[in-house]
Structure 1
Amino acid sequence: HQLAIEAVKSVNSIDIKHDEVAFLALAERLGVPLLTYPADVLNAQTTPNPSEVVLSKLGVPSVGEAAAQVASGNGRLLLEKQKVTVASGKKHTLAVALDAAAERRGVVAIVGAGPGDASLISVKGKELLEAADLILYAGSLVPERLTHYAKPGAVVRNSASMTLEDQLHLMSAHYQRGHLTVRLHSGDPAIYGAIQEQMTAFDERGMDYFIVPGISAFQAAAASLNSEFTIPEVVQTIILTRGAGNTPLPPHEDLAEMARHRATMCIFLSATIAKRVQAQLEEHYPPDTPVAILYRVTWDDEEIYTGQLADLAALIREHKLTRTVLIVVGAAIGARKNRSQLYHPDWKHIFRTGKPAKVKKIKK
């Protein structure tokens, strides 16, 4: 079966076999422990080859397969139940499972690269890039500098020219080889990241995956504008949305209706329909509402333009902006007047009771 005898970690069976001479001798010969399990533990396993005969004699439908699964922590067997006859004529069954801790299984990490500045990726995201066997990145939106973290021998591919099917074919091939794949998306993958269709395909294929969040462009915008987007008594809500272009908005998410809230609105993917967006916003925001237009925020060629809502479309047209643009609208932009209650001297809570702090003296 092409399994190395030197790789055996333990011999395993049901507890009533704890003193079985053949099992003890085998464990001693291999230099591994003999581990046994009660019937209720074995019965909790789902095995491919249960036996009515074994159930009638031992109270469990499987010993070899179930014990291998329990000991390995792995439900998948390398070798299903085999019947063997030893020199004495006594018959035994055996099965083999791979220790889950030793198994290298494929996995896909969907990683947020951040808004553009390569140094804004998370520590976990960087570590995954350094360990990845395949890095598949959205080259038109993610800085190539991040791929320089790749280890020697890693495959690095730009997905800009690939269809979803092309990407899945490549990721599946690496997954089947037990590789770590990093699917590197701009910003935070959960915001306009087109990852839902990928996860659907992963689920259909039984592929393991997880998401590592990243800094979104709207968060980077607040930093670049030196602004807090939630100002006490002015605005406490942030709306992330887009205008209705080639991809229509759901009927209940009409931009003009959302403008009623006068929240801090961050509008993605809408530079080419700026005139329409401005008209919808002006239905409820005053014309002098502050606006900011951020092109490739945090990238080396970042451009930021500020003004009033009445000038939104003109600013975008004047600077010939068409893509990789975030529009921010709201009174929070550049606001400096209001104070929160969080650090007000009259505001008491469990960490700040208003009582003099006790100083603990350290004995010398």
Structure 2
Amino acid sequence: MRTFFFPLIFLLSTLTLAEEVRIEKILDANLFLLENGHKIKLAFVETPSLDSADSSFNDLAKRIIKYARNNFLGVPLLMEIVSDTTLAKDVLPVRLYRKFPLETLCYNIVYLERGFGKYLPVAKQKDAEDFIKAERKAKNELRGIWNDRYRVGSGANFSSQVSFYAEYLNNNENDKQDYYYGLSFTFINMNLRNNGFEIRGGVLSRREKGVGCCDCSEFVLTPYDHTSMKNFIILAGLLNWDYFGFRIGLSFFHTTRGYCSENPFPVLVLPVFGIKLGRLDRLYFNFDFLRDELLLPYSLGITWLPRHLPMEIWSGVSMGPKENEAFSNQAYGLMFTYKFKRFRLHGDAVYYFRNKHYALRIGFGLPLSI
């Protein structure tokens, strides 16, 4: 019983010493104007700011401000001044509480639990363990600033990725055994949530074996066994909001063939387009044209970002136009990215139903600061 009363007495004494205040205006993610004209901030918490040079932190600051407006404005709050020494001119560091019928919330701790900021420890802080536990919870759940989208203190603005690709055609018809292999690279910004871009390119090698003709006017069929090379570049801009996003750009494909090399293919230029619908930080649907060089032109899928794991999983189907024999196929794809502290691992698997192709790709990426 004694262990129950001591924390209760401590809490009541703390709140008794606290002053009731009302916040008139939210100035920033952690800067508030009281009705009496004083400015306050939550003590022991460092949050993103609207003045941050990184636009992704600007976006998070706006989210925090929205939360503060919904919870601080127009309601009585309890304020406990932590120190007479201000961190900035006439800005008081405080503990901020709000009383509810069944509990009293400390918003300093709530901010840390939601990933709205980092804990700034000070010597002899009486409730330091509560702040440490709150920050650890946000880290474990990848919330707020601990999400890879913001990456506190990483200094990385971009991600580069190199992937190896192999595909095998499991088909014995006409003694034809085809395979692909190749390398690709991806260069994509990691910090910009609302405005981004990606550059992808690579080369794919395909073995072509069969019987055909180049100048078919004489109807002379000859056996061939050559290698063709497909070069591609995909340039796309990215725009994302909370529940909607789209991707738009151009792609360039050029194929050189060992068979019929005297009749080269022209450079093929195609649009790139995609739409996202859903919670972009958790689960959303994808509708894409030319989503990935492994997939067929049209794809429909769903992307899942697990709450407690730093990874992204896409699963879906893709298809091509029936009037084009080269693309009149259906495929199922599974793609994932796992993000470690220093690098990211990427793996894909695609199965093409009509031709019984199996395609695998694995890659790794490193963060870059440019």
TM, length-normalised to structure 1: 0.27
Higher strand share: 2
Higher helix share: 1
Pick the structure with greater CA Rg: 1
TM, length-normalised to structure 2: 0.27
